[in-house]
Structure 1
Amino acid sequence: MPLDELDRRLIRATQGGLPLLPRPYEAVGAMLGIDGEQVRRRMQAMLDAGLIRRIGAVPNHYRLGFTANGMSVWDVADDLVDELGERIGQLSGVSHCYRRPRRLPVWRYNLFAMLHGRSREEVERQAEDIAAMLGPACAAHDILYSTAILKKTGLRLNES
């Protein structure tokens, strides 16, 4: 999908995030001189074309009080990993869950689930609950705790 000047202006206006207002598309449209419905249509076209992967909130877990954040990694039977991953991804303490290829013999894990808690003990309890859910389908697991906050950014235009 070729970008026209309005698309470029729309990306520049939203690349730092949508305004935290009840009607963010209308606010962006007002900055660009178009209506909110046109903003929605253009953003949907960019989604459909694959220029934008998703539009969603990116919470700062630390500011919400979730200071113990750990990537739980699981060695799950390959024939069950998709089904069990779907169940884990629906748990309240999990922000994202996905399958990745194993890198044997060094890395045996094929299922990843980011766990958030107010303490490491809370994260470890969540991991215990997941281990119980997985049962014999899980051969091993571990938790890799975050040591730094990484800045997440959205689509950026290369203006050079």
Structure 2
Amino acid sequence: MTLTPQDRTIVEATQAGLPLVTRPFAVVAESLGLSEAELIDRLKQLKAQGVIRRIGAAPNHYRLGMTANGMTVWDVDDAVVDSLGEKVGALPFVTHCYRRPRALPDWPYNLFAMVHGETREEVIAKRVEISSLLGKACRAGDILFSTRILKKTGMRLRGKEG
């Protein structure tokens, strides 16, 4: 799907977040020369088309006390990795879960699940829960703890060059 110029402008205007005001859509709409209703309707259409996934708050987990963060990595049987990955992704403490290709022989892992906690012990306990869910389909696993933040944003469109 190709974005219309107006759709692209809407995405660019909202991708970094909405203003913290009583009527954020009205403020954004005015800056784009649209009515609030037009902006909301177009955002609903973009969501229905799958162009945007959601509009929501993105809490800073560090400020919420969740300072222990670990990417759990798993070597799961390819025949069941998708179905098990959906179950892992549905766990309330998993914020990101995705399948990636292995890079053999050095990297056997094909399922990744990000877990946050107040302590490393809490994250390790959550990793044990994931391991139990994966069962015998999982041949190996590890956890990579975050040591610092390098980037904390989602994907961003760039303005058109030229």
Superposition TM-score, scaled by structure 1 size: 0.83
Secondary structure at the aligned position of 2:153 is classed as coil
Counterpart in 2 of 1:70?
70
Shift of the alpha carbon at 1:9? 4.3
- Specify whether residues 84 and 21 from structure 1 end up closer, same or farther in structure 2 by C-alpha distance, changes over 3 A only: farther
Counterpart in 2 of 1:132?
132
What is the alpha-carbon distance in structure 1 between the residues aligned to residue 129 and residue 3 of structure 2? 47
What is the alpha-carbon distance in structure 2 between the residues aligned to residue 127 and residue 2 of structure 1? 40
- Specify whether residues 17 and 159 from structure 1 end up closer, same or farther in structure 2 by C-alpha distance, changes over 3 A only: farther
What are structure 1's unaligned runs of at least 5 residues?
A: none
Counterpart in 2 of 1:110?
110
- Whether the 8 Å contact between 1:69 and 1:114 is mirrored in structure 2 is yes
- Specify whether residues 76 and 22 from structure 1 end up closer, same or farther in structure 2 by C-alpha distance, changes over 3 A only: farther
Percent identity reads 51
| Cα displacement string for residues 57-103 of structure 1 (whole angstroms, at most 9, x for unaligned residues) | 43321122111111100011111111111111111111011111111
1:55 aligns with 2:54: yes
Superposition TM-score, scaled by structure 2 size: 0.82
Range that drifts further, 141-150 or 12-21: 12-21
Secondary structure at the aligned position of 1:134 is classed as helix
- Whether the 8 Å contact between 1:94 and 1:113 is mirrored in structure 2 is yes
- Whether the 8 Å contact between 1:11 and 1:157 is mirrored in structure 2 is no
What is the alpha-carbon distance in structure 1 between the residues aligned to residue 54 and residue 128 of structure 2? 32
- Specify whether residues 64 and 42 from structure 1 end up closer, same or farther in structure 2 by C-alpha distance, changes over 3 A only: same
- Whether the 8 Å contact between 1:15 and 1:156 is mirrored in structure 2 is no
Shift of the alpha carbon at 1:126? 0.1
Range that drifts further, 148-157 or 114-123: 148-157
What is the alpha-carbon distance in structure 2 between the residues aligned to residue 12 and residue 79 of structure 1? 39
What are structure 2's unaligned runs of at least 5 residues?
A: none
- Specify whether residues 77 and 9 from structure 1 end up closer, same or farther in structure 2 by C-alpha distance, changes over 3 A only: closer
Counterpart in 1 of 2:158?
156
What is the alpha-carbon distance in structure 2 between the residues aligned to residue 12 and residue 24 of structure 1? 15
What is the alpha-carbon distance in structure 1 between the residues aligned to residue 112 and residue 81 of structure 2? 10
What is the alpha-carbon distance in structure 1 between the residues aligned to residue 138 and residue 21 of structure 2? 44
